[in-house]
Amino acid sequence: MIGAWLVPSLVRYGTEEQKEKFLRPTLRGQMTWCQLFSEPGAGSDLASLSMKAERVEGGWKLTGQKIWTSMAQMAQWGFCIARTDPDAAKHDGITYFLVDMKAAGVDVRPLRELTGDALFNEVFLDAVFVPDEHVVGEVNKGWQVARNTLSNERVSLSTGGGLGMGVPELLKFFAGKELDAVATSEVGKLIAQGQSIDLLGLRTTLKQLNGVEPGAEASVRKLLGVQFNQDVADYCWASQARPPPPRSR
Ligand SMILES: Cc1cc2nc3c(=O)[nH]c(=O)nc-3n(C[C@H](O)[C@H](O)[C@H](O)COP(=O)(O)OP(=O)(O)OC[C@H]3O[C@@H](n4cnc5c(N)ncnc54)[C@H](O)[C@@H]3O)c2cc1C
């Protein structure tokens, strides 16, 4: 799932060598990824990130901390943004890197949740070497690439199955159950909403195929899609608590 957010960014900004090396195995699910964006002091205001990348022979050395990195403990690669020019305006001095999670200096520390599971991690980078060939886009222009990846993430997370229930899960949940007129109308309304949101996604995909950035539709879709996933889960939960409709004679 996370690798899928990177793929369109690599298609748009990556070198031919990067496309050759990363696209096919990522699309096949043979190469797993994590997103090294958020930091303790850089969440909603991501461009205030402070991980630093220092120029060395043949590449860069990355030092700093990332947080909330989903599935970092399983990922083979991470896409990461770090500050390459501390004197530039905050959106300008950032570069986009592909980091080998097995490289020396990468330390992944899982964050245990209330459930006992550990999805998120803290990831510490201590002078991790990233070769020049793993810089995506231009040096100091990584914010542009990151925005593209974030747009893909919004599209992906707003579809069912990403982070909650969508139309397929709704249909599966009610398959074979008897619905009264009210429930039929409510479920129908949810299906219509879900399909409208999916059409926003289709519009975004068509824009991307035409070389246009996903833009505002992706944000709108994320907002509506995540609320929709929540509404579907709430509705299924509430319908379980309701008594079944009286049988028609
Ligand atoms: C399920 C999940 C998976 C995630 N996986 C990853 C991952 O793999 N990699 C990764 O890099 N990150 C990941 N994140 C982190 C996520 O992107 C951050 O939570 C996000 O960047 C917000 O940062 P924060 O938690 O520091 O909140 P903050 O930025 O501190 O925001 C806290 C609250 O303040 C509000 N707020 C912030 N600024 C303003 C403002 N200027 N005006 C008004 N209100 C404001 C926000 O809306 C929010 O309600 C994940 C998050 C979730 C929920």
Among the candidates 140, 173, 207, a domain finishes at 140
For residue 213, give its domain range. 158-241
The answer to whether the CB of 79 falls within 8 A of the CB of 71 is: no
Residue 153 lies in a domain: no
Ligand 1 atom closest to 45 (CA): 29
The answer to whether the CB of 50 falls within 8 A of the CB of 39 is: yes
pLDDT of residue 132: 98
Tens of pLDDT, residues 3-18: 989 999 999 999 999 9
pLDDT of residue 29: 92
Q: Which residues, in sequence order, are CB contacts of 75 under 8 Å at separation 6+?
A: 2, 32, 33, 34, 101
Pocket lining: 26 vs ligand 1, CB cutoff 6 Å: no
Q: 92 φ, ψ to 5°?
A: -95, -30
Among the candidates 83, 114, 140, a domain finishes at 140
Looking at the fold, whether 136 and 162 belong to one and the same domain comes out as no
d(CA 82, CA 52): 5
Mean pLDDT of 28-40: 96
* Percent of the chain whose predicted confidence (pLDDT) is above 70: 92
Tens of pLDDT, residues 132-161: 999 999 999 999 999 999 887 766 655 544
Q: What is the distance in A from the centroid of ligand 1 to the CA of 38? A: 8
> 58 pLDDT exceeds 90?
yes
Looking at the fold, whether 134 and 226 belong to one and the same domain comes out as no
Looking at the fold, whether 215 and 181 belong to one and the same domain comes out as yes
Looking at the fold, whether 57 and 29 belong to one and the same domain comes out as yes
Tens of pLDDT, residues 184-208: 999 999 999 998 988 888 888 788 7
> 63 pLDDT exceeds 90?
yes
Residue 151 lies in a domain: no
Ligand 1 atom closest to 120 (CA): 5
Indicate the SS3 state at residue 57: coil
> 103 pLDDT exceeds 80?
yes
Ligand 1 atom closest to 66 (CA): 11
Whole-number Cα distances in Å, 217 to 147, 178, 212? 14, 36, 12
Q: Residues with catalytic annotation?
A: 153
Of residues 204, 201, 149, 165, the one with CA closest to residue 34: 149
Ligand 1 atom closest to 2 (CA): 8
Looking at the fold, whether 76 and 45 belong to one and the same domain comes out as yes
Looking at the fold, whether 181 and 228 belong to one and the same domain comes out as yes
> 249 pLDDT exceeds 60?
no
Among the candidates 108, 140, 172, a domain finishes at 140
> 211 pLDDT exceeds 80?
no
Looking at the fold, whether 112 and 207 belong to one and the same domain comes out as no
The answer to whether the CB of 124 falls within 8 A of the CB of 107 is: yes
- Which neighbouring-strand residues pair with 202? none
Regarding predicted confidence, which is higher, 226 or 69?
69
Q: What is the distance in A from the centroid of ligand 1 to the CA of 44? A: 5
pLDDT of residue 158: 52
pLDDT of residue 161: 44
Looking at the fold, whether 46 and 116 belong to one and the same domain comes out as yes
Pocket lining: 235 vs ligand 1, CB cutoff 6 Å: no
Q: 127 φ, ψ to 5°?
A: 50, 50
Tens of pLDDT, residues 225-246: 889 989 998 999 888 876 666 6
- Which neighbouring-strand residues pair with 53? 62
Confidence of residue 83 (pLDDT cuts 50, 70, 90): very high
Residue 152 lies in a domain: no
> 55 pLDDT exceeds 80?
yes
Looking at the fold, whether 135 and 200 belong to one and the same domain comes out as no
What interhelical angle do 216-241 and 142-157 show, nearest 10? 30
* Percent of the chain whose predicted confidence (pLDDT) is above 90: 63
Pocket lining: 29 vs ligand 1, CB cutoff 6 Å: no
d(CA 86, CA 117): 37
The answer to whether the CB of 32 falls within 8 A of the CB of 101 is: no
**Of all protein residues, whose CA lies closest to atom 43 belonging to ligand 1?**
44
Looking at the fold, whether 87 and 210 belong to one and the same domain comes out as no
Of residues 158, 170, 160, the one with CA closest to residue 221: 158
Q: Best mutation site among 33, 44, 46, 66 for ligand 1, i.e. most ligand atoms within 8 A of its Cβ?
A: 44
The answer to whether the CB of 218 falls within 8 A of the CB of 154 is: yes
Looking at the fold, whether 126 and 214 belong to one and the same domain comes out as no
Predicted TM-score (pTM) of the model is 0.81
Which amino acid is present at 156? S
Phi/psi region, residue 64 (left: phi>0; alpha: psi -120 to 50; beta: rest), is left
Looking at the fold, whether 68 and 112 belong to one and the same domain comes out as yes
Of residues 155, 129, 119, the one with CA closest to residue 9: 155
Run of H or E residues at 97: strand 94-100
